[in-house]
Structure 1
Amino acid sequence: MLPPRSVLITGASRGLGLEFVKQFLQVPSPPEFLFATCRNPDSAKELQEVAKSNPSVTVLKLDVNEINTIEEAKKAVESKVGDKGLNLLLNNAGVNKKASLEEVTPAMMLDTYNTNVNGPLFTTKAFLPFLLRAAESSSPSEPSSAVVNISSIMSSIELNEKTDAYDYRPSKTALNMLCKLLHNELKDKGVHVGCLHPGWVQTDMGTTKAPLTISQSVCGCLQVMSKMKAENACVLTDYTGKPLPW
């Protein structure tokens, strides 16, 4: 899959998203177009600094909960990629309120589901025409077009023995089903769909207790993406390439 000519990353202002931007710029053949999207570009100071020193990076406003911002970003992307389309959509934006049974509310569930499931779905739907354009020149076994969703081991029904994150766990399980649906829809059209567990990472969401640095996680995820094939695309995989049970 790697290196792609063009990449779009959601939730790129901090954490994993920002590190994906930085590490894509360091691969031997970095993307010609790297669209780093976030809810509030004006306050994304570190991302803006990266963009200033890297002309391939375009910072765009895209809030996965607001369809109008997705459509505006779509126009900006099309103006740059043209007929060659978009090679990689990385659905990274997500939220985890870590709600217990006592704490969880209907509003909390809806907000988490909107970000973690509806966000990737409608972002993918919007950019699908561009992904299909990029796929036209590739074979199904050697994709030049892919959607990668950042999922979590916390989505696994088989592995779960906890009673926490009533908002987050079900939303990521639903995201896995979305991955499967999109895979079924697009596998014969040259667009591969994958879902990655980045590990327990030292981000705002993962906290400082996590064993993995952001750099280690993203480095592993890029290696997994580079080996994405038809037979391993729609598999919940961790950052080391290990398949995980649904």
Structure 2
Amino acid sequence: MSSANTILITGGNTGLGLEIVRALSKEAVSYNIIIGSRNLEKGIKAVTQIQEELPQSQSKLSTVQIDVLSDDSIRGAVEYVASTFGKLDVLINNAGANFDHDIQGGKLSQRDGWNLAWNTNVTGAHVTTVEFVPLLLQSASPDYSSSQVFAVINASPEAGWPKPQTLNPTESYRSSKAGLNMMMRQWYRILKNDGVKVFAVSPGFLATGLAGLGEETLRKMGARDPAIGGNFVKDVVLGKRDADEGKAIYIQGIQPW
């Protein structure tokens, strides 16, 4: 078994997850970085991409298939990490999704869309954590990590019903993230005496594929380079925000409600 810290990033093959992988791979420290991906081929492609970009990286990259909506998939990922590394030092619950466009466009009903958002963003992260806790407790320094949006997004629409469709609807998404924050607080309470550091990390408004709008549209709305979020999460992994353990944090400090 390797003595290097082992880090698993769910949804690590794209967007913010891939930026976290990239940021960690640039460090002089050697890590075992596991890219969690729903599609194993995409995970392998992400590993190859980072290895080609950073051939001098001290870290070792691998990938594992993990779908946070599938208990069998999560348990399979646990078995892989256990048999390959024997422990997990850092779990980054990055996998998430926004289904509000599908709700707004009629592809999903309100009930189905909200249930899917909570199942993905809250329950998926919770079950993943439950399954990986035994491996986190094998670590000498375990860590577990689970946004300022602009006025146009937060503005209230004109009176009347139905409300007009918006460019970036976030009702179910934000609700699920509020639930995720409370889930983080509960895990902080449960694991406090085990020495497991728990955070909710808000990377900010980034130009990723999460909202389904495309990077260019998001950049015009003021979204920042995903690398900024990747480097921020890396800093949390490196212990630079340990004073804020158990809180929802962003780059400037504690995330306001």
Same fold (TM over 0.5): yes
**In the superposition, relative to structure 1, how do residues 224 and 76 fare at CA in structure 2: closer, same or farther (>3 Å)?**
closer
Is 1:133 aligned to 2:138, yes or no? yes
State the secondary structure of the residue aligned to 1:92. Answer: coil
**How far 1:28 moved relative to its partner?**
1.5
Q: Partner residue of 1:140?
A: none
Shift of 1:45: 6.0
- Return 191-200 or 208-217, whichever deviates more: 208-217
Query: Is the 8 Å Cα contact of residues 9 and 17 (structure 2) preserved in structure 1?
Result: yes
Q: Provide the residue aligned with 1:141 in structure 2.
A: none
**Counterpart of 1:243?**
254
Tell me the equivalent position of 1:157: none
Structure 1 residues 37 and 101, CA, compared in 2 at 3 Å: closer, same or farther? closer
Q: Say whether the 8 Å CA contact 2:35–2:43 is kept in structure 1.
A: no
Change (3 A) 1:35 1:28: same
- Distance of 1:177 and 1:243 partners within structure 2: 15
Deviation of the 1:118 alpha carbon? 0.7
Contact 2:68 2:120 in 1 (8 A): yes
Could you tell me how far 1:102 is from its partner in structure 2? 8.8
Match of 2:89 among 72, 87, 90: 87
Does structure 1 conserve the Cα–Cα contact (< 8 Å) formed by 2:43 and 2:63?
Answer: no
Aligned-residue offset at 1:43? 3.6
Paired residue secondary structure (1:19)? helix
Correspondence 1:120 to 2:119: no
**Counterpart pick for 2:142 among 129, 142, 145:** 145
Q: Which residue of 2 aligns with 1:6?
A: 6
The alpha carbon displacement at 1:232 in A equals 1.1
Is residue 24–residue 30 contact of structure 1 (8 Å, CA) maintained in 2? Answer: no
Secondary structure (helix, strand or coil) at the match of 2:33 reads: strand
Q: Please list the CA deviations of residues 176-204 of structure 1 after superposition, one character each: whole Å capped at 9, or x if unmatched.
A: 00000000001111001101111111111
Change (3 A) 1:44 1:6: closer
What amino acid is the match of 1:39? R
Aligned pairs for 1:1-246 within 5 A = 5-31=5-31, 33-44=32-43, 46-50=45-49, 56-82=60-86, 85-99=87-101, 105-134=110-139, 137=140, 144-149=141-146, 152=147, 164-205=169-210, 207-208=215-216, 209-210=218-219, 211-226=223-238, 227-229=240-242, 231-238=243-250, 240-246=251-257
What is the letter of the counterpart of residue 90 of structure 2?
Answer: L
Provide structure 2 residue ranges, at least 5 long, that are not aligned to the other structure: 158-168
Give yes or no for contact 2:9–2:91 (8 Å, CA) kept in 1.
Answer: yes
Query: Aligned pair count?
Result: 224
Rounded Cα–Cα distance in structure 2 between residues aligned with 1:162 and 1:221: 32
- 8 Å CA contact retained: 1:10, 1:62: yes
In 2, Cα distance between equivalents of 1:62 and 1:21: 16
CA distance in 1 between counterparts of 2:176 and 2:73 reads 22
| TM-score, reference length from structure 1 | 0.82
Of 98-107 and 212-221, the range deviating more from structure 2: 98-107
Cα distance change, pair 225–241 in 1 and its aligned pair in 2 (3 A): farther
- Matched to 1:64, the amino acid is V
Distance 1:77 1:45, change over 3 A: closer
Deviation at 1:205, TM superposition (A): 2.2
Q: Residue type matched to 1:190 in 2? A: G
How many angstroms apart in 2 are the aligned matches of 1:45 and 1:23? 18
What whole-Å deviation, never above 9, does each CA across 1:208-240 have from its counterpart, x for those lacking one? Answer: 3343101122112322443132x41111111x2
What one-letter code is carried by the residue in structure 1 that aligns with 2:256? P
TM-score by length of 2: 0.79
Alignment RMSD, CA only? Answer: 2.5
Whether the aligned pair in 2 keeps the contact of 1:51 and 1:58 (CA below 8 Å) is no
Q: Percent identity?
A: 26
